Amino acid sequence: MNIRKFLFASFVLSFALAFTAYAQEKMTTEQWQNEMSLLTNRKASLTKDIASLQTEIADLKAQYVKIQSPEDCRKEVHALLGVTSKTELDNYGNLVNALDAKIDNKQASKEDLQAELNQLKNNRATADPLYYDKVENQLQRKLDAIEQQKKEEQKLAEEKMEYTVKKGDCLWNIAKKKEYYSNPFAWPKIYSANRDQIKNPDLIYPKQIFKIPNLTDEEKNHYDKVKRNFKPAPPKQEQAAK
């Protein structure tokens, strides 16, 4: 009886193992079929994309054939501008390069350099693709950078220049000092820069510390002109004795 039970159990176990193996084999086949289906669809999609790209490449090649060369483009621009002489363009290019060097070396004031640049901008040759960006953008940025640097240097100088008031000082005498303005008529500049301390320009006190800002070119010219035009009052004449 026990042997029969053992044989029956063995048969059931063998059948179960065989069924499990068959199920596993069947699932693996389904997975493989699914994977193949996904890859087939992906291949079809990529084939479609390749065909679309090939069409775009063909269109771009057709457009490229029609595009003008840079030299032909320049010639067309020159014709529109009425520039027919190569000498004119060469001379313009020399002016552009000369101004570029002037700006780099700061050989003139910002105002004079800006005036030269404006003349170049107004020249018809500035539309030439070879010069347009340099004249309209690059040189202008260089000039603006010079102005910004000048402002920063001036601000730094103003922060560093100070004067400690001594007994007997007045704004007139401070402005007259050679290390500052060498011009007593420039005293309002000191007064204006220190209004937080000076309530009355005729009254300053020892140990006060004043900022001494630099004069701008315009201010310097103004105060120099005031100094040149100043005429002291004539001395009072004593009345003749009766």
pLDDT at 242: 38
Burial of 68: CB neighbours in 10 Å, binned 0-12, 13-18, 19+:
exposed
Q: Both tokens of residue 69? A: 């060369």
| Secondary element (H or E) of residue 163 | strand 162-164
The class (CATH top level) of 161-229 is alpha beta
> How do residues 102-128 score in pLDDT, each as one tens digit?
999 888 888 899 999 999 999 888 888
For 125-171, the pLDDT digits (tens) are 888 888 899 999 999 999 988 888 877 777 766 666 889 999 999 99
Q: What's the confidence (pLDDT) of residue 118?
A: 94
- pLDDT, mean over the chain: 82
pLDDT of residue 192: 94
Q: What percent of the chain has pLDDT over 90?
A: 39
Spatial distance between the Cα atoms of 60 and 192, rounded to a whole number of angstroms: 67
More confident residue, 203 or 152: 203
What mean pLDDT do residues 36-54 have? 89
CB within 8 Å of 187: residues ≥ 6 apart? 171, 172, 174, 175, 201
Predicted pLDDT at 7: 46
Stretch 81-98: mean pLDDT: 84
pLDDT tens digits for range 5-27: 544 555 555 555 555 555 555 56
pLDDT band with cut points at 50, 70 and 90 for residue 239: very low
- pLDDT for position 90: 85
Domain ranges of the chain: 71-157, 161-229
Q: What is the pTM of this model?
A: 0.40
Mean predicted confidence (pLDDT) in 81-90: 77
CB 74 within 8 A of CB 129: yes
pLDDT of residue 1: 47
